[in-house]
Amino acid sequence: MAAARGGRPWWWSSSSSSSSCAPLLLVLLSCLAPPSRAADTVAVGRPLSGGQVLVSKAGKFALGFFQPDNSSQQWYVGIWYNKIPDHTKVWVANRRAPLSDPDTSQLSIASDGNMVLLDRARSPVWSTNVTGIAANSTVAVILDTGNLVLADASNTSAVLWQSFDHFGDTWLPGGKLGRNKRTGEVTRLVAWRSYTDPAPGMFSLELDPGGASQYVMSWNGSRQYWSSGNWTGDMFSSVPEMMASSADPLSLYTFNYVDAENESYFFYDVKGEVVLTRFVVDVTGQIKFMTWVDSAAQWVLFWSEPKAQGDVHSLCGPFGVCADSGQPACSCLRGFHVRRPQQWLQGDHTAGCARSTALQCGGGAQPAERKTKSDRFFTMPDVNLPAGGVSAAGAAASSAHDCELACLANCSCSAYSYNGSCSLWHGDLISLRDMTGAGNGGYRISIRLAASEFSGSGSTKKLIIGVVVAGVVAAVTLAVVVTVLVRRRRRTKALRRVEGSLMAFTYRDLQLVTKNFSEKLGGGAFGSVFKGSLPADGTPVAVKKLEGVRQGEKQFRAEVSTIGTIQHVNLIRLLGFCTEGTRRLLMYEHMPNGSLDRHLFGSSSGHGGVLSWETRYQIALGVARGLDYLHEKCRDCIIHCDIKPENILLNDAFAAKVADFGLAKLMGRDFSRVLTTMRGTVGYLAPEWISGTAITTKADVFSYGMMLFEVISGRRNVGQGQDSADAEGARPTMGMVVQALEGLVDVNAPPIPRSFNVLGDASNYVKFFSALPSG
């Protein structure tokens, strides 16, 4: 493990030298100019102003004025990547104090030797604030590491101040994130307030203030909502991904936790500087590890925590509700509206939502009016409860009705939940989470609203309008049904135009087959899937509406016919397709038992109940066979890129069939799309994903391993539990994770055949399974 580096900072060795001069003209150009005139330096008499930009020696980072939101006159001095098109900011000097005009402002060296940022009135808005520097003796240099240092002009190794000790939201390779044990000073990452406001926001990451060797994320500096777990020697206990990375000799990264006499810190670096990477505490309250992928020309998310957005405390603010899979994740509760729409749109939800109609409570309503006017409750069926509920004892606890009355009796009560015991919330509702569709039946909560928020409160006018509308709707529906039936007769014949082994359909054919896309089976990375049946013989089929296909028709046809030739008992069969204008659809055989995730994670009350070990084994083996076929036996090797339980379908005999293969190719090499739709499993992506080029079949083996673990445990590797404590509890224990990882990390050479062995060898199989608690 790397020891703390004493003496000169490590980053210094590779950069900055007043260098022996090169021959010819360069001699004149560089040697005659004094060193202080370098374009990476701020010196006395050489301030930075307006549109000027300083660039580090090798051109990696730039320092200058920028405007995060060009609709407002708010300017900042910051550092950004100079070589990538979107100039991602990594550090901002004046986070709290924007300038109104860059041309009259300047970053300069003050007479006391500090670096200061002066506004148009020449008063300082930001300063390095170091004491005891000799006057007229310092320069500031932007380095190729992204570090801005204030150093002695005659010896730039003598650093007086550096931006790496004062992080913003971004932590670059080589920086130390930790604590000085003597001064108690910490370096912490603090998110921007919104995407266009660099001011310090609510979310931060720092070394545990309690002194433990773990990192914690907190809200408003105090409320902790995530921790990395303590350092075990080669990883943090809740970040098993690191182990996979440190066990791989080809890994580009080195991660180290250093606990030295005077300081403890975490340190990471990238070998050979071949890729750009950064950790950032995002506006969403998550710590994200991002990698620049040249071929995709964008930042790709490699890892993030907490995995589920809803685990971030108060992400959506008071009376906001978070849906983990929602886009956007935050919305307001019924009866509430966004308090500050401008900020909300930019990702700043701290102001939350405001009540649209004031409560009746405390309004002095007469007893006679109470009946019609008193507050009512709107019930949300499937949520994780907000923070801060108090349980009401006594009479309130005896029934849901009594619990409701207990809430109505106190004007500050804003919600109740009854599940055999009664919980009440007073004031703001924070961190309410919509779990609809998460499959593990959350709680019910009843939100207090003004009675007028409920429509249909007995008005006869409304009733009449309702009846009229219903009549019109019925008539229109009837007309449509008749039309469809007539057309259906005409069209049935035209349905099949065979192309190779595939049927080509028109869009209208597929509307007919799916009853106008009325029965949705699910949604996946590439689009939604609908149930249908072939008019000729009623064969059930699944029709997938692809979204975001950029391929032209010819290429699409070529690709689809390749996929059409792939037939294996463990691969879903493609039956037909449709390409019309920009529409692209695929028709597959229908699998009556749906996808594997429902059986693994769904409520056990669902049909079929818990899968037997034998079935699980058969499923695991089937998936492995299907993948093996894709990887080795097809004419063109196909990498699936998105192996997960959602993409494993089960036929009536619970035989596994891999779905969605070949689609990654069909969509083009659209990394971010593939990656971001991976159900939060980004943490378990094979490391080679980041290289941007060398994706091999091993990527699937990695994902298969992670899925195998879910098949065995019957739980998500990434849990979406009942509340934040349960979320933690749903995660596998480290022992389990390590075993899963070892089973895979050990099988390095030819991936599929070896992992077959793990499964195929009965003694391994028994060992592996019996080592795990049943569940």
Ligand X SMILES: *[C@@H]1O[C@H](CO)[C@@H](O)[C@H](O)[C@H]1NC(C)=O
Q: Which residues are annotated as a binding site for ATP?
A: 545
In the bound state with ligand X, the residue whose beta carbon lies nearer, of 56 and 227, is 227
Taken as a whole, the chain contains a residue count of 775
Q: How far apart are CA 128 and CA 138, in angstroms?
A: 12
User: Does position 14 bind ligand X by CB under 6 A?
Assistant: no
Point out which residues pair with 398 in neighbouring strands.
none
Nearest-CA neighbor of 91 among 185, 192, 176?
Answer: 192
Least distance CB 90 / ligand X (angstroms): 19
We find the least distance from the C-beta atom of residue 626 to ligand X, in angstroms, to be 38
Which segment (260-268, 340-348, 583-591, 691-699) binds ligand X by CB under 6 A?
A: 260-268
With beta carbons less than 8 A apart as the criterion, state whether 592 and 599 touch: no
Q: Which is nearer to ligand X, 385 or 712 (CB)?
A: 385
* Closest CB 289 distance from ligand X, rounded Å: 20
Task: Dump the DSSP string for 544-594.
Answer: EEE-S----HHHHHHHHHHHHH---TTBPPEEEEEEETTEEEEEEE--TT-
Q: Which stretch binds ligand X (CB under 6 A): 241-249, 418-426, 572-580, 683-691?
A: 418-426
Asked whether position 135 contacts ligand X by CB under 6 A, the answer is yes
CB of 643 to ligand X, least distance (A): 30
Give the helix/strand (H/E) hosting 200.
Answer: strand 197-207
Q: How far is the CB of 148 from ligand X (least distance, A)?
A: 15
Of 161-169, 326-334, 417-425, 659-667, which segment contacts ligand X by CB under 6 A? 417-425
The minimum distance between CB 4 and ligand X, in angstroms, equals: 7
Select from 17-25, 412-420, 577-585, 699-707 the region that touches ligand X (CB under 6 A). 412-420
Question: Do the bridges between strand 432-434 and strand 320-323 make them parallel or antiparallel, or are there none, so unpaired?
Answer: parallel
Which residue, 22 or 354, is less far from ligand X as judged by CB? 354
Cα torsion 416, 422, 425, 426 to 10°: value is 110
Closest separation between CB of residue 129 and ligand X, Å? 4
Residue from the set 129, 477, 565, 764 that interacts with ligand X by CB under 6 A: 129
Is 399 or 419 the residue whose CB approaches ligand X more closely?
A: 419
Interaction between residue 73 and ligand X (CB under 6 A):
no
Binding residues are 545
Provide, rounded to whole angstroms, the least separation between the CB of residue 331 and ligand X.
20
User: What is the SS3 assignment for 9?
Assistant: coil
The span of 298-306, 414-422, 430-438, 596-604 binding ligand X (CB under 6 A) equals 414-422
Interface positions, 343-382, toward ligand X (CB under 6 A): none
Pick from 399, 419, 518, 757: which binds ligand X (CB under 6 A)?
Answer: 419
Region near ligand X per CB under 6 A, out of 184-192, 241-249, 258-266, 587-595:
258-266
Q: Cα–Cα distance between 737 and 242 in angstroms, integer?
A: 12
Among 17, 36, 73, 136, binds ligand X (CB under 6 A): 136
- Those residues whose C-beta lies under 8 Å from the C-beta of residue 155, and which sit 6 or more positions away, are none
Binding window for ligand X (CB under 6 A); candidates: 257-265, 639-647, 696-704, 712-720: 257-265
Tokens describing residue 632: 């080795």
Annotated active-site residue in 197, 348, 642, 660: 642
d(C-alpha 189, C-alpha 544), whole Å: 43
Distance CA 250, CA 304 (A): 22
Which residues on neighbouring strands pair with residue 723, listed in sequence order?
none
Nearest partner of 651 among 573, 583, 564, 728, judged by Cα: 573
Identity at 725, one-letter amino acid code: A
Which x/- pattern, by CB under 6 A, does the window 262-301 give for ligand X? x---------------------------------------
Can you tell me which of 20, 123, 155, 603 binds ligand X, judged by CB under 6 A?
Answer: 155
CB 36 within 8 A of CB 153: yes
Closest CA to 296 of 689, 6, 621: 689
Q: Helices 698-713 and 613-628: crossing angle, nearest 10°?
A: 170
From residue 360, give the alpha-carbon distance in Å to each of 333, 364, 452, 455, 509. 18, 8, 10, 16, 55
- Helix pair 762-770, 751-760: axis angle to 10 deg: 80
Alpha-carbon distance of 329 to 476, in angstroms, equals: 36
Task: Kindly write out the interface string for residues 517-556 of this chain, putting x where it contacts ligand X by CB under 6 A and - elsewhere.
Answer: ----------------------------------------
Q: Per CB under 6 A, does 261 bind ligand X? A: yes
Among 445, 484, 438, 433, CA closest to 329? 433
Please classify residue 336 by burial: count the beta carbons closer than 10 Å to its beta carbon, then call 0-12 exposed, 13-18 middle and 19+ buried: buried
Residue with tokens 């290289």: 691
Q: Tell me if 157 contacts ligand X by CB under 6 A.
A: yes
Distance in angstroms (rounded) separating the CA atoms of residues 147 and 164 = 6
Shortest separation between residue 238's beta carbon and ligand X, angstroms: 6
* φ and ψ of 457, to 5 deg: -85, 45
Contacts of ligand X in 194-233 (CB under 6 A): 212, 214, 220-221, 227, 229-230
| Tokens found for residue 435 | 């779990």
Pairing status of strand 106-109 against strand 48-49: antiparallel
Instruction: Decide if residue 412 touches ligand X (CB under 6 A).
Output: yes
Q: Of the two residues 129 and 539, which places its CB atom closer to ligand X in the complex?
A: 129
Q: Is 614 exposed, middle or buried (0-12, 13-18, 19+ CB in 10 A)?
A: exposed
- x/- string (CB under 6 A) for ligand X, residues 105-124? ------x-------------
Question: Residue 383, SS3?
Answer: strand
Pattern 611-630, binding to ligand X, x per CB under 6 A?
--------------------
Q: Is 394 in the site for ligand X (CB under 6 A)?
A: no
Binding mask 25-44 for ligand X (x = CB under 6 A): -------------------x
In this structure, are strands 215-219 and 197-207 parallel, antiparallel, or unpaired?
A: antiparallel
Cβ at position 709, least distance to ligand X in Å: 21
Binding mask 421-440 for ligand X (x = CB under 6 A): x-x--x--------------
When asked if residue 127 is in the footprint of ligand X (CB under 6 A), the reply is yes
User: Least distance to ligand X from the beta carbon of 413, Å?
Assistant: 6
Closest-CA residue to 587 (of 625, 543, 631, 540): 543
Q: For ligand X, which stretch binds (CB under 6 A), given 416-424, 525-533, 638-646, 739-747?
A: 416-424
Residues 747, 749, 755, 757, CA torsion sign: negative
Omega of the bond leading into 306 within 30 degrees of 0 (cis): yes
| 428 tagged catalytic | no
Question: Could you give the CA distance from residue 243 to residue 683 in angstroms, rounded to a whole number?
Answer: 12
Number of residues counted as binding ligand X (CB under 6 A): 33
Q: Between residues 221 and 753, which has the closer beta carbon with respect to ligand X?
A: 221
| CB closer to ligand X out of 7 and 23 | 7
Give the integer Cα–Cα distance in Å for 662 and 639.
Answer: 7
CB of 245 to ligand X, least distance (A): 20
Burial track 273-296 (b if 16+ CB lie within 10 A, e otherwise): eebbbbbbbbbbbbbbbbbbbeeb
Site for ligand X (CB under 6 A): which residue of 1, 2, 8, 37? 8
Q: Give the nearer residue to ligand X in terms of CB position, either 262 or 501.
A: 262
Binding site for ligand X (CB under 6 A): 7-8, 44, 70-71, 111, 126-127, 129, 135-136, 155, 157-158, 212, 214, 220-221, 227, 229-230, 260-262, 385, 389, 410, 412, 419-421, 423, 426
Active site residues: 642
